[in-house]
Amino acid sequence: MPVQLNAIATLPLSPTRSPGPGATVGSGGFTEVLGQWLDQVNQQQAQANAAVRDLALGKTDQMHHVLLDIAKADLAFRLTLEIRNRLVDAYQEVMKMQV
C-alpha cells in the first residue's frame, strides 16, 4: 500500500482571485471550502477506522500503515478543532465591537 498524500494539503490556503468580466461566479465560497475540508477530514477518519478494522481482522499485517492513517486522521481532526476554536474566538471579538 503506497503512502498517500494528505488530502487536506490540497485545499487552497489563500482566497482565489475573482474571475474576469463575463465569467460566472459559483455560489458558496467559504461554505464550499469548509464543506470540502470537513468531507476530507471525515474520509480520513473513515480510512483510519477501516485500517484498524483490517488489522484486527488479520487482513493486513502492516502496522506502520495503520499507525500512519491514525496519525493523519488525528492531526486533521486536531487542526479542524483548532480552526473552529479560532473562528469562534474571532466571531466573539466581532460581536463585542461597538458600532
Quote the CA–CA distance of 57 and 62 in Å, as a whole number.
13
Quote the CA–CA distance of 23 and 25 in Å, as a whole number.
6
Domain chopping of the chain, boundaries:
28-96
Smallest CA-to-CA distance from 47 within 77, 27, 20, 19 is with 77
Identify the pLDDT of residue 26. Answer: 57
More confident residue, 4 or 65: 65
32-54 pLDDT per residue, tens: 998 999 999 999 999 999 999 99
Q: What is the pTM of this model?
A: 0.65
